[in-house]
Amino acid sequence: MNLVQFLLGLSLVLFASLFTTGGPWSAFLCLRQTVLGQRGCTPTGAIGNVTLHYFAGRGRGEAIRLLLNDAGISYVETAFTKDTWPAAKETGLASGAYAFGQVPVLFTNSEQPLAQSQAIMRRLARASNMDCDCSDLSHCDAVALGTEDLKSQMGRVVYDEKFTNEARIAYLSGKAQTWFGYFEKLHQAGSTPNHHGYFGTKGHVTWVDFFVFDTIDAHVALGTQVEGADKYDVLAPFPKLRTFYSGFAQRPQIAAYLSSDRRPKFTLPYPPK
C-alpha cells in the first residue's frame, strides 16, 4: 500500500465514522443554529396563500390556527358548516384535494393540498422555525399523538348526546386528570419564567407546544360548560401545566388571536343534561 492509498483509506474511515456518529450532521445543525438562528430538523422556505379547509368550530383546526397566528402567516378559512360540508367533501374527493375525505386540509402556493392535522402542523413548523430539533423528533411525535389520544377521549364525552352533566364532571375529574398528570411530567425542566413552552424541544417553542396548549384549552373550555360549577378548574393540581398554559396564552400573537372575533367560539354540540 502506497502513501496515497493509505491516506485515501484513512480519510474514508474518518468520513464514515463521522457520519455514523452523527458528527458532520450535528456540526452542520449547530452551525446553522448559531449563524442563521434556524432551529428544527429540516427547515423549509416560507409558505404563502394559505387556505385552511375546516369547519367553523375549533376542533382539529384550532392548533393549526394558533400556530398560523403565532407565526404571523396570514390565511383564509372555508369555515364549513353541516350544510356546506357534503358538497365540499364531494368536490374535494373528486379533485383529489381531500386525500381522506376529511378536513383539516391545508392549501398553499407551494405544494399539493395537505391532509392530517399532525402533518400540517409539522409542515407549518418547518416553514416557521418551530420544528423540533433532530434529536427530539420521535419525542415530539409521541407527545403530539398523546394530545390526540386525550382529545379523542374528550370527543367521546362531548359528542355523545346521551352524556349528562355528571358524566362530563366524571370525565374532567377522572380520565382527564390522569392524562393531565402525564403531561405535567412531560413538561421539560429548565424553563425560564417567560419560557412559554417546551413539550417538544427544550429552549424553543415548537409545533408540539401548540397541540398541548390547544388540548389544555379545550378542557378548560369544557370546564366552563359544566353546570353547577361556574368554572371547573381542571388545572388545579398541575402547577407546571398552569404556568405553561397562562404563559403561552400571553405570547403576543396568541393573546391577540385568543381575544379576537376571528376565533371560533367553543360550543357543545349537545347541551348538558
Is the Cβ of residue 93 or residue 167 nearer to ligand GSH in the bound state? Answer: 93
Compute the radius of gyration of the chain from its Cα atoms: 22
Is the Cβ of residue 44 or residue 102 nearer to ligand GSH in the bound state? Answer: 102
**Pair 180, 238: CB distance under 8 Å:** yes
Query: Which residue shows C-alpha cell 391577540?
Result: 256
Is the Cβ of residue 39 or residue 123 nearer to ligand GSH in the bound state? Answer: 123
Is the Cβ of residue 47 or residue 115 nearer to ligand GSH in the bound state? Answer: 115
The answer for residues whose C-beta is within 8 angstroms of residue 170's C-beta and 6 or more apart is none
Is the Cβ of residue 101 or residue 237 nearer to ligand GSH in the bound state? Answer: 101
Q: How many CB atoms lie within 10 A of CB 1?
A: 7
- The grid cell for 67 is 400556530
Around 219, how many Cα atoms within 13 Å sit in the side-chain half-sphere? 31
Q: Give the integer Cα–Cα distance in Å for 124 and 128.
A: 6
Is the Cβ of residue 116 or residue 129 nearer to ligand GSH in the bound state? Answer: 116
**Pair 137, 145: CB distance under 8 Å:** no
Q: What minimum distance in Å lies between the beta carbon of 194 and ligand GSH?
A: 31
State the residue number with the nearest CB to ligand GSH: 102
CA angle 110, 116, 119 (to 5 degrees): 60
Among 35, 204, 206, 218, residue whose Cα is nearest residue 124: 206
Q: What minimum distance in Å lies between the beta carbon of 24 and ligand GSH?
A: 36
- The grid cell for 167 is 358524566
Q: What minimum distance in Å lies between the beta carbon of 67 and ligand GSH?
A: 14
The answer for residues whose C-beta is within 8 angstroms of residue 16's C-beta and 6 or more apart is none
Q: What minimum distance in Å lies between the beta carbon of 33 and ligand GSH?
A: 30
* Residues found near ligand GSH in the complex (CB under 6 A): 59-60, 89, 101-104, 116-117
Is the Cβ of residue 101 or residue 174 nearer to ligand GSH in the bound state? Answer: 101
Q: What minimum distance in Å lies between the beta carbon of 105 and ligand GSH?
A: 8
- The grid cell for 7 is 491516506
Q: What minimum distance in Å lies between the beta carbon of 196 and ligand GSH?
A: 24
Q: What minimum distance in Å lies between the beta carbon of 200 and ligand GSH?
A: 18
H/E stretch holding 22 reads none
